[in-house]
């Protein structure tokens, strides 16, 4: 009989349950500014290794890449509306 994995937490980005070995990063007890709720919140999150890799890549890629990615998405949306 195959042993089921013991999920300890879940990824706050993708939402999948993860084991301790799958945690890529953890942010714990940091105060954040919540612009949507117009206040402050304490933050404790776990992020799986895949999402952590994506977060690091997007953070290091910078604003220029982010603008290009946003413009590409706008063009794709415009093309899909024309069809």
Tell whether 48 is covered by a domain.
yes
In a domain, 1, yes or no: no
Please report whether residue 39 resides in a domain: yes
The boundaries of the domain holding residue 30 are: 9-82
Residue 62 placed within a domain: yes
Q: Is residue 59 part of a domain?
A: yes
The answer to whether residue 4 sits within a structural domain is: no
Q: Is the CB of residue 25 less than 8 Å from the CB of residue 56? A: no
Residue from 39, 47, 41, 17 nearest 29 by CA: 41
- Encode pLDDT of 24-58 as tens digits: 999 888 888 989 899 998 888 999 999 999 999 99
**How far apart, in Å, are the Cα atoms of 61 and each of 29, 33, 52?**
27, 23, 14
Specify if 58 maps to a domain: yes
**pLDDT category of residue 1 using cuts at 50, 70 and 90:** low
The number of domains in the chain is 1
> Does a structural domain hold residue 50?
yes
């Amino acid at each position: 009989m195959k042993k089921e994995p013991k999920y300890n937490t879940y990824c706050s980005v993708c939402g999948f349950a993860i084991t301790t070995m799958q945690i890529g990063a953890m942010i714990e007890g940091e105060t954040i500014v919540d612009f949507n709720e117009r206040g402050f919140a304490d933050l404790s999150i776990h992020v799986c290794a895949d999402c952590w890799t994506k977060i690091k890549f997007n953070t290091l890629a910078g604003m220029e890449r982010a603008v290009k990615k946003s413009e590409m998405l706008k063009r794709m949306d415009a093309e899909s509306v024309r069809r």
